Structure 1
Amino acid sequence: MSTVMEKIEQSQLRSGLPELRVGSNVRVNYRITEGTKERIQAFEGVIIGKHCGASNNKATFTVRKVTQGYGVERIFPLHSPRIESIDVIKVGKVRQAKLYYLRARRGKAARIKERVTARPSA
């Protein structure tokens, strides 16, 4: 019985997802249905936590943004068919797995350094 469920879950996993790291700025294009109309809403912010790993069907990630002085957090299922695309804008340099301390910070104190990758010398 469990092998049948595992096969169904494996068939629903998305492939081709970008590498999502905690501290990265991302733009998630999410499909929203309002009555008979359907539209795509972009949610842009910092990933403050990942849950259950990427290979699990139940994996989620939390994105936080500040809009008009109010912090807004949204939890997205990683393998949801409603997610149109996930774009990584900047990769942040952090040393913790959960960035919940950003909830108490405002303005410049809530900034995250950008991870700089070394270019191969020619």
Structure 2
Amino acid sequence: MANLIDFVNNELSAKKDFPTFGAGDTITVFYEIKEGEKTRTQFFKGVVIQRRGTGATETFTIRKMSGAVGVERIFPVNMPAIQKIELNQRGKVRRARIYYFRELTGKKAKIKERRR
């Protein structure tokens, strides 16, 4: 039964070519918003806090600072409204889920860049 579910998820989900990214990376997500008849593209740039799930149910959480307020947004990887994802900076972190990043302020909130 599990094999059948995996087969359907793999066949029906639209594959998009996104860069590989993980926790600590700074990315920009461009997604489409529909307002009545009009559609526009909006972007959300921030640090990836986590990636969760597998296959069709995989999601990732991005955190950005808007003024002095932290804003987090959860995106499904297979969301049809996502147009593209740009990888701005690779971060050097030692955890897969960096929840501790929420409490950091100032210089402590900077994530070092990973060398390539």
TM-score (norm 2): 0.91
* Equivalent residue runs for 1:37-116 within 5 Å: 37-53=38-54, 56-116=55-115
Aligned-partner residue type, residue 87 of structure 2:
V
| CA displacement 1:39-65 (0-9 Å, x = unmatched) | 111000000011013xx1100000000
TM superposition shift of 1:69: 0.7
1:109 CA drift (Å): 1.0
Q: Distance in 2 between matches of 1:33 and 1:112?
A: 34
Q: Percent identity?
A: 39
Looking at structure 1, the residues matched to 64 and 15 of structure 2 have their Cα atoms a distance apart, in angstroms, of 25
Larger Rg: 1
1:31 alignment counterpart: 32
Instruction: State the Cα distance separating 1:36 from its structure 2 match.
Output: 1.1
Whole-Å Cα distance in 1 between the matches of residues 107 and 35 of structure 2? 37
Aligned residues: 114
Please state whether the residue corresponding to 1:109 is helix, strand or coil: helix
Is this contact kept in 2: 1:13–1:57, CA < 8 A? no
- 2:16 and 2:65 map into 1 onto residues whose CA distance is 30
SS for the counterpart of 2:20 is: coil
Corresponding residue for 1:120? none
List runs of 5+ in structure 1 lacking aligned partners: 118-122
**Per-residue deviation, 1:112:** 0.2
Q: Which string of whole-angstrom CA distances, capped at 9 and with x for unpartnered residues, describes residues 88-110 of structure 1?
A: 00000000011111111112111
Report whether the alignment pairs 1:9 with 2:9. yes
The secondary structure found in structure 2 opposite 1:93 is coil
Instruction: State the alpha-carbon separation in 2 of the partners of residues 47 and 13 from structure 1.
Output: 22
